Amino acid sequence: MLAPNKKIGLIQMSCVPDTQANLDKAIHMTREAAHAGANIVCLPELFRAQYFCQREEHALFDTAESIPGPSTEALAEVAKQEGIVLIASLFERRAAGLYHNTVAVLETNGEIADTYRKMHIPDDPLYYEKFYFTPGDLGFKAQQSSQGPIGTLICWDQWYPEGARITALKGAETLFYPTAIGWHPSEKAEFGEAQYSAWQTMQRSHAIANGVFVGAVNRVGHEYGDVIHNGVTMPGPGPHTLDTGLEFWGGSFIADPFGRVIAQASHDKEEILIAEIDRKLLEDTRRNWPFLRDRRIDAYQGITSRYLD
């Protein structure tokens, strides 16, 4: 017999320079999602700050925290009070000089059930993440949470079918992708629609290829990477104009195992998306599209090579 269906909630929020204000907002919106029926709630990537990776600045390492730490302590109380599983992406200080972009999965009892460290780290204009984050060393994971089997990956991970596949093979029935992705304002008119379409299409393909639900949650707003943490102001790079910074495109969505978008947010507003995870649909889709059954695991040795000359 299949376990009861659950509802997932995605928190599409904007972020201000003040890290404490962002945490307070995330807690408020998480409670709203829980009161609307969500059993599992996912926050966007690095929600505690404006997206600071727009420049390389050593002082910003002071915004990192341990796990467990202040953020997980505050969020754990919410998870326990509301009886939800809560997924939170944080800037983790593992040791002096060693930092990760890490998801903490908080259980209904307030305990940290698991962590996942971002495996793929980008280095592009205004996305200088290699300066801040060490690549994850925990591998791809599935969590058998009290609200159902889930997998958590982070932003740049979403472009890699290997991560989605391994996470699904480990038992995840819903993949969550906390994200911070946006347009370079000067490129939006020419490339914006195609970039968003590619982003959504890639993740819908993970849903289809693996017979899983996918929840991709992004932030909204035009950001310059300004950060205020513990009373210290760290302004973002360069002039703050409509042509600089990043315009985060929102567009958070939930796709079913058939790849259909069953809930989608706007590009410019804070929203809470909620959708039911229909486990019978997952079962039926995998029976009719038995991609996992028909995989030729005897013929995939080359996938672990950098390139096949």
Q: What distance in Å separates the CA atoms of residue 27 and residue 88, rounded to the nearest whole number?
A: 11
**Which of the following is catalytic: 118, 129, 141, 271?**
118
The residue written with tokens 């059930």 in the block is: 113
155 included as an active-site residue: yes
Token pair listed for 183:
């347009």
Q: What distance in Å separates the CA atoms of residue 248 and residue 126, rounded to the nearest whole number?
A: 12
80 included as an active-site residue: no
**Which of the following is catalytic: 6, 45, 57, 271?**
45
HEC-encoded secondary structure of the chain: CCCCCEEEEEEECECCCEHHHHHHHHHHHHHHHHHCCCCEEECCCCCCCCCHHHCCCHHHHHHCECCCCHHHHHHHHHHHHHCCEEEEEEEEEEECCEEEEEEEEECCCCCEEEEEECCCCCCECCECHHHCCCCCCCCCCCEEECCEEEEECCHHHHHCHHHHHHHHHCCCCEEEEECCCEECHHHHHHHHHHHHHHHHHHHHHHHHHHCCEEEEECCEEEECCCEEECCEEECCCCCCCCCCCEEEECCCEEECCCCCEEEECCCCCCEEEEEEECHHHHHHHHHHCCCCCCCCHHHCHHHHCCCCC
**Which of the following is catalytic: 53, 155, 247, 271?**
155
Query: What is the amino acid identity at position 187?
Result: E
Q: Which residues are known catalytic residues?
A: 45, 118, 155
